[in-house]
Chain A
């Protein structure tokens, strides 16, 4: 939880954040101002999230990634001369330049070496490019310390993320009908309708429960139809990563597609849905990390983090899927409830 009382906004911040303060208000900006975020994994998706959060004016962003920067990366924060260095060190300067008012910290250790104490120092944890087992481990730690948790990925033309906000309180503005005309008033009636603030609480579930869920039986028919392709594809990709210890790669295109189909069939079998439900054509589109896909998923995910930190407006619960090759849709679904 971020406390807002101690935080004030300077004139310089007011000038810089003017256009966003006018959208989400000063209170939300103050809460952002106090938020310490951990971002694990700095690929294309991570770079987008880092950019968006840094621009928004959080207190600090810790970038954790042990991998080495490669050429042709979707991470636009890495100048060409930094290829070969650790990704977070390679990206540091460009991230910091986005907003000198945010503390940008780097950590090049492997996340698997991080223990409970490490995570407890953050207000939000966002994981990318992790094997699902590692995400589950970290989510469990975060739960213990009441820390909101996100994990997301982009594969080729699409991507997805999961969010666990435990028990989340938020407020939203709702319209109330315009006040009736004051009597005798001849002025033209164009009063804007008023809004009032309403509070809600949403409950979330841990990643493990969501990952092991069977939405085909939990969701109604229409909802399941809408997300089945997204869901099966996500699970296939995450299981591929866990089994192969890498993501699908262009060099092994055909055999990786075959492997993905195999994994998919296994998942369907386990769910007792052996009919051909997911077109293998979709696996043609999951290679690499396309910049526009990272932009879309990273934009939605970062905005969700902003919502969570500010406790303003209804956050997504608990999955988001986007595919830029099939239905061009960004779909939300609650899985595992």
Chain B
């Protein structure tokens, strides 16, 4: 029997002459590299900033146990060469968002194939491919579900034509005062980690929120005369500084967070008229609970008793404190990592203790890890199918058969047409797309007196609008430069508020990202307050704007609608979705594979601020949704 890969000769020729960029060497990337090499592609560049983890090995089959810790791109290349040593594969252990990969870089490729798991990188590559006019095949998987689609400037919609729903976030007072679900406690515990050991973020306060509108009238009424409680008030002493005073004595930390602060919350009576009030815990009297859980579980799936939580809290604090002492420099801090045992133990322990206090069901470390770390379940077969479908789309593009390109969905069960692999026609570009339309425009609602230039750059331009190195001018007839991508030029502007530059309701800003060859006009609408304490809202279509209430997308939008609101990002305590979480919608919801923050020094528990202001941005970035 002939065992030969035979494609019709014209296609074969185009394949052999093509140059392919594969962005990502993870679940989809490994399968894709294998398919490309076997299909006769012989000039491939693969780029991935990540290193190999043991949890990758159930599906990223180019890696074995001995490769754990090494660069995914490098090892993927090595393994793929084993399928055909005569192929040229260049591996880059790097972030595709680095300035080195400019439009000229992208222009050298015949097709770009994304094998990513985060929205920011997808958005960025989308822009680069539009600027370079190179076809892009976009894809994603989550559990049993997957999608593939083709993107070509002028011929199809681009990645940002349909704005994605914003990331899930919770109001600050829910996290700080009135949690009702395990996730609230988990978010709180992660914030506590950052307050104690990591980069403190004023949006991640863990102490009671006296400005809670629900508690109005109680603030300061029955405050306890307790030194710890007063010292914990974040406006006076930072949580970290306070903890250092006692050298991170666990009993003192415990006393503040699970006893004194709780008593303070209890004094805010109005919060508890309709809710179960919290019960403070006492260090000397930790309840023992008989475990009634079934056997046969993985160790991590057993729910800890409060006593076990305290044990884990004590031991993890010891380890984390030791680690933070070993760091050099005053600016040093730990970065939370779900795969770091002590970090994970700390969050599990603290979130469960808080859950206990608030009579919320407790969660096992296994479940906490998934929620805290935004783990997306992933298997080999889904990635294998999607990678195969990517290559079929590539064949069509190489043959110039754009009309045959499809948006293809992998379903978990047959749809109404009995299809588990269901193609649908590509949508044409959104004429008002804030990225690919001829004159991109968005409107941003914010408070001009409160929003600083720094926040505007980090949270709006980079975080929500996925720019890399923006230049911003105020359209005021004077050409006032608000932000310059050249280092040092506009440093003194950063701490000022937008209103300091006479930016007011209706002011237009001209934003340019030279690297992405992306020009965007932003109209500012001044709003004193936004829904749910949000710091800003981005709206793609101004005709959607209603007078007082901001319109924003809270879920998947039907792709047939031509005007949709853009995602809004909340600055208040958001679920700390690590940079690389993607969510795919398929008449239901599932999530992509999870990766670490896109800094080159992955898993640097003792990392310094790798990317300067960008590191803060990374924690606030969004879910990624490829919508139907």
Contact = CB atoms under 8 A, between A and B. Distances in A.
- Chain A complexes with chain B: yes
A278 interface: no
A187 B180 CA distance: 7
B63 to A, nearest CB: 10
Interface in B400-416: 404, 406, 408, 410, 412-414
A314 to B, nearest CB: 6
Contacts of B2: 246-247, 249-251, 287-288
A57 B379 CA distance: 11
A284 B385 contact: no
B438 interface: no
A74 B3 CA distance: 7
B82 A79 contact: yes
Contacts of A291: 5, 34-35, 38-39, 388, 391
Interface stretch (A15-23, A142-150, A231-239): A15-23
B3 A11 contact: no
A296 B55 CA distance: 24
Given A26-B301, A72-B4, A332 B384 contact: no
B384 A52 contact: yes
Nearest to A184: B274
Given A76-B83, A291-B39, A292-B392, A300 B377 contact: no
Interface in A283-337: 284-285, 287-296, 298-300, 302-303, 306, 313-314, 316, 320, 322, 324, 327-333
Interface string A146-158: 0000000000110
B290 interface: no
B384 A298 contact: yes
Interface stretch (A43-51, A132-140, A262-270): A43-51
B90 interface: no
**Most chain B beta carbons < 10 A, residue from A57, A246, A285, A331:** A331
A287 B61 contact: no
A129 interface: yes
Contacts of A287: 2, 4, 6
A292 B391 contact: yes
Nearest to A188: B174
Contacts of A332: 414, 418-420
Given A20-B378, A290-B39, A226 B31 contact: no
B361 interface: no
Interface stretch (B291-299, B312-320, B448-456): B291-299
Interface string A209-237: 00000000000000100100000000000
Contacts of B83: 76
A187 B359 CA distance: 14
B3 A328 contact: no
Contact of B379 (A23, A51, A75, A316): A23
Contacts of B392: 157, 292, 296, 324, 328
A91 interface: no
A106 interface: no
B381 A299 contact: yes
A237 to B, nearest CB: 12
Interface residues of A, number: 82
A171 interface: no
A60 interface: no
A316 B178 CA distance: 47
A154 B484 CA distance: 56
B220 to A, nearest CB: 23
A74 B297 contact: no
A185 B422 CA distance: 43
Nearest to B143: A23
B614 interface: no
A26 B297 contact: yes
Contacts of B38: 44, 74, 76, 291
B1 to A, nearest CB: 5
Interface in B29-54: 31, 34-35, 37-39, 54
Contacts of A251: 2
A299 B370 contact: no
Contacts of B7: 288, 290
A11 to B, nearest CB: 7
B377 A292 contact: no
A320 B420 contact: yes
B549 interface: no
A327 B384 CA distance: 19
Contacts of B6: 156, 250, 287-288, 290
A333 B404 CA distance: 24
Contacts of A205: none
A2 interface: no
B85 interface: yes
A98 B61 contact: yes
B1 A51 contact: no
Contact of B385 (A11, A184, A186, A300): A300
B57 interface: yes
A203 interface: no
Given A74-B38, A129-B1, A223 B59 contact: no
Given A20-B378, A22-B370, A186-B275, A14 B300 contact: yes
Contact of B388 (A18, A24, A223, A293): A293
Interface string B504-529: 00000000000000000000000000
B3 A292 contact: no
A85 interface: no
A288 B4 contact: yes
Contacts of A187: 178, 180, 275
Contacts of A288: 2-7
B64 interface: yes
B435 to A, nearest CB: 27
B283 interface: no
Contacts of A73: 3-4
A11 B365 CA distance: 14
Contact of A67 (B1, B274, B296): B1
Contacts of B390: 292
Given A20-B377, A23-B378, A328-B408, A290 B420 contact: no
B375 interface: yes
A94 B79 CA distance: 11
Nearest to A55: B380
Contacts of A199: none
B488 interface: no
Contact of A186 (B8, B274, B422): B274
Contacts of A226: 417-418
Nearest 8 CB-CB pairings of A with B: A330-B421, A295-B388, A23-B377, A288-B6, A291-B38, A299-B384, A299-B385, A292-B391
26 contacts: A8-B296, A15-B54, A16-B55, A20-B58, A20-B379, A23-B144, A23-B379, A55-B58, A73-B4, A74-B3, A80-B85, A98-B61, A186-B274, A249-B1, A291-B34, A293-B388, A295-B35, A296-B384, A296-B421, A299-B381, A300-B421, A324-B388, A328-B389, A328-B423, A330-B410, A331-B419
Given A23-B379, A300-B420, 6 more contacts: A18-B55, A19-B593, A76-B38, A292-B392, A296-B384, A333-B418
